[in-house]
Structure 1
Amino acid sequence: MSKTYLITGVSSGFGYEMTKQLLAKGETVVGTVRNDKKVQSLIEEYPNTFFRRFLDVTDTKAINELVADIYQHVDKVDVLINNAGYGLFGAAEELSAEEVNHIIATNLTGSIEMIRSILPHMRKQGGGRIIQMSSYGGQVAFAGNSMYHATKWGIEGFIEAVAQEVVPFNIGMTIVEPGGARTEFRYGSAQVAQLMPEYNKNPAHEFLTMLDQKNGLAPGDPEKMAAKIIESVAIEPAPLRMVLGSIALKSTIDTLEKRLENFKSQTKLAASTDFIE
């Protein structure tokens, strides 16, 4: 039986690749865009199963109106994939207040409000699946990526908590943590702050090497990653996390092991602050 998917940010990257694969499988996709030029071919090829909607995920009112309107036309949305987002690079001092506020509104608040808007509907329909696109940058931090990490660490904490709240309603939630992939995220949509010479030769500017394709392309295959995300919908219970990419997994494990060692070394310190009864 075919499913209906609501996917944000389908004009490029993982959103576009997932939409393309789902439509080829006969699924129905409601995909949000800010500009529909890149999805014209999908509109023409799948007029009965692909429905593009314009949405700026920083607009909470628009999110609520979109979800309400979708449920006027479909019985249920089986899967929500929060995919819209972008990367912002630069040292914390180099970022403007506008850049800070916008990436939070897009990557963090936008995802939160989309989930909050659809939860009442999924609860009433008896269940559903929510997939939140994050990054291994939701567990591992690099200089020059502070605000991107802030949004990803934030949304992961939100998902972990909400996932526990909605289990009784048969709603599963999955955080997807891809490593570097050959998408427009890195080679097109990435935004760079107004760089300061004081940070030249500083770890904060090492991202410039990563963004330059002359230094080699990212190892992740977007087509394979999209396929694994789609396959996860059938897994019961929903996996809380999926790390995609061998480098991403190794980096995550190494980071968590070091973090755990640090916590364990604080056993006496932690106990020393308890009341002694």
Structure 2
Amino acid sequence: MTGLNGKPPVITGGATGTDRAEARQGMDAPTAVLIGATGGLGHALARLLAAEGFRIVLAARREHDAAELTGRSDGSAIYLRADVTDPASLEKLAAAAFEHLGRVDAVVNLAGISPRKAIEDYTLADVDALLSVNVKGPIFVTQAFLPGLRKQAGGGVVVHLGGAMDGRVALPFMSAYAATRGALASYVQGANRELAGTDVVLSFFGPVPSNTESESPYFDMWRKMGVALCEPDVVAREILATIRQRRRAHIMGGGLLRMLTLANAVSPSAADAIGLRRFAKLIQQHHPR
């Protein structure tokens, strides 16, 4: 496996002397670590950040994922192996990233899973995986990078990809998944209150459904609900804006989704009356029992 510059990437802690020299040459450039960057959104965000002058470290859980990323790269990043469910691998990733980049301005955690099943069909394995990736993962990512972010001048931002809307709007066949996204939203909120007065910010990023392979089984359902699919490049630009503005939360979507999010936060029954009940019926039609 090679890095984007054709040289071996850092796989565990510590960078080579060549890597450190190259990093020093671009020390004024902004830096970012992308975790779980193997899907369509990860590729789009990596391309955008590279075009904007970022020096990047991309982390993949499996070596063949990193090899695929290498084949799509343009010479602007290196690749490391990391698993959000393994704190030790994340600690090695953080150490290697700070060593290679010199500083880390942004960490973007794109890792997540979203099985959509009836309440009684979620297995123990499903629930364990959801909790491990969607809840424990963001906590472990934050813990791994927080010491370095606290130590460096200017701090940094950790962006966690959440669910659609604010993470607290729960729909049929997504109950267990929604529970993990709600947990993430609460974690980010509490962590930001704890970090008040520092230069470190956590961000909950709520995307809209994207035109990606993983979302393709639900394209027709979203169309019937009147929810326009977003291209990954558009979502990537919103993530970049979140990084630059250090937003604590950013929820994508048009007026209807924003209105439903606000209504649900105030009164779930009002949100049902406005539109969530209709959404729920369309989802149930898509998942006949």
Which bin holds the TM-score, normalised by the shorter protein?
Answer: 0.7 to 0.9
Indicate whether 1:155 and 2:184 are aligned. yes
CA contact (8 A) 1:140 1:252 kept: yes
Indicate whether 1:231 and 2:241 are aligned. yes
The 1-side partners of 2:95 and 2:46 are apart by: 21
CA-based RMSD of the aligned residues comes to 2.6
- Residues 95 and 137 of structure 1, relative CA distance in 2, 3 Å threshold: farther
- TM-score w.r.t. the length of structure 2 is 0.74
The 2-side partners of 1:86 and 1:154 are apart by: 14
Output aligned runs, 1:46-125, within 5 Å: 46=75, 49-125=76-152
What residue in structure 2 maps to residue 255 of structure 1?
Answer: 264
Helix, strand or coil: the match of 2:215? coil
CA contact (8 A) 1:87 1:185 kept: no
Helix, strand or coil: the match of 1:80? strand
- Residues 184 and 112 of structure 1, relative CA distance in 2, 3 Å threshold: farther
What residue in structure 2 maps to residue 138 of structure 1?
Answer: 167
The 2-side partners of 1:167 and 1:185 are apart by: 36
CA shift for structure 1 position 123: 0.4
CA shift for structure 1 position 216: 9.2
CA contact (8 A) 1:31 1:51 kept: yes
Helix, strand or coil: the match of 2:141? helix
CA shift for structure 1 position 69: 2.3
- TM-score w.r.t. the length of structure 1 is 0.77
The 2-side partners of 1:209 and 1:233 are apart by: 32
CA contact (8 A) 2:85 2:140 kept: no
- Residues 162 and 217 of structure 1, relative CA distance in 2, 3 Å threshold: closer
Q: How high is the sequence identity, in percent, across the aligned residues? A: 23
1:36 aligned to which of 63, 66, 81: 66
The 2-side partners of 1:103 and 1:133 are apart by: 14
CA shift for structure 1 position 137: 6.0
Output aligned runs, 1:197-208, within 5 Å: none
CA contact (8 A) 1:137 1:149 kept: no
The 2-side partners of 1:187 and 1:59 are apart by: 29
- Residues 208 and 15 of structure 1, relative CA distance in 2, 3 Å threshold: closer
CA-to-aligned-CA distance 1:20-55 (integer Å, 9 cap, x gap): 100122211111113124313344x21xx3111122
Task: Find runs of 4+ consecutive structure 1 residues off by over 4 angstroms.
Answer: 213-218
Question: Which has the bigger relative contact order, CA under 8 A and spacing at least 6?
Answer: 1
- Residues 260 and 28 of structure 1, relative CA distance in 2, 3 Å threshold: farther
Q: Which amino acid aligns with 2:109?
A: N
What residue in structure 2 maps to residue 25 of structure 1?
Answer: 52
1:244 aligned to which of 246, 252, 264: 252
CA contact (8 A) 1:182 1:217 kept: no
CA shift for structure 1 position 14: 2.2
CA contact (8 A) 1:42 1:50 kept: no
CA-to-aligned-CA distance 1:49-102 (integer Å, 9 cap, x gap): 311112221112211122122223232111011111121110121011111101
- Residues 215 and 159 of structure 1, relative CA distance in 2, 3 Å threshold: closer
- Residues 137 and 185 of structure 1, relative CA distance in 2, 3 Å threshold: farther
The 2-side partners of 1:23 and 1:208 are apart by: 30
The 2-side partners of 1:147 and 1:7 are apart by: 26
Bigger drift between 103-112 and 247-256 goes to 247-256
Helix, strand or coil: the match of 1:26? coil
CA shift for structure 1 position 138: 0.6
CA contact (8 A) 1:86 1:185 kept: no
How many correspondences in the alignment? Answer: 238
CA shift for structure 1 position 209: 5.9
The 1-side partners of 2:149 and 2:66 are apart by: 27
The 2-side partners of 1:230 and 1:73 are apart by: 22
CA contact (8 A) 2:87 2:144 kept: no
CA-to-aligned-CA distance 1:112-135 (integer Å, 9 cap, x gap): 101011101100113111111112
